[in-house]
């Protein structure tokens, strides 16, 4: 699966960082990391969208995104390219998509060889939902 977010929301992309666990936190919260003196919460994107645990030991990547309350990191398997896509390729999420993923997906871009699921960052980062 390929997911995308608006590039203007991305602060930076960095390799996996050392994290401090947070006792009694949601399982989605993997920990806190120190990003040049700023404490940033790191969320496990796989857990957030309900995917199975990783089977590889390949290091995770941090996609640090801007929010109203400061940066938050999404831990992802890998990073793709920045794409500029025509809006005529965009469609709303299919009606058959149900559950948590439905509330987190803003829509879908039809690319040549795959679909790009566009995330709605506000619900992705809202752990109370």
pLDDT tens readout for residues 9-59: 999 999 989 999 999 999 999 999 999 999 999 999 998 888 888 777 889
Under the phi-then-psi rule, with left for phi > 0, alpha for psi from -120 to 50, and beta for the rest, what region is 44? Answer: beta
Domain 2-125 has CATH 2.40.50.180: yes
Q: What is the mean pLDDT of residues 82-86?
A: 88
| Domains in the chain: boundaries | 2-125
pTM tops 0.95? no
SS3 88: helix
Tokens of 115: 């679909």
């Amino acid at each position: 699966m390929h997911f995308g977010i608006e590039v203007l929301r991305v602060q930076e992309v960095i390799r996996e960082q050392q994290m401090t666990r947070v006792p009694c936190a949601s399982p989605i919260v993997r920990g806190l990391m120190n990003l040049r003196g700023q404490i940033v919460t790191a969320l496990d994107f796989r857990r957030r969208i309900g995917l199975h645990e990783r089977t590889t030991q390949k290091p995770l990547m941090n996609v640090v995104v801007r929010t109203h309350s400061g940066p938050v990191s999404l831990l992802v398997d890998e990073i793709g390219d920045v794409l500029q896509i025509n809006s005529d390729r965009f469609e709303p999420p299919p009606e058959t998509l149900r559950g948590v993923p439905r509330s987190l997906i803003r829509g879908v871009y039809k690319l040549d060889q795959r679909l790009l699921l566009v995330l709605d960052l506000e619900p992705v980062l809202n752990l109370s939902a």
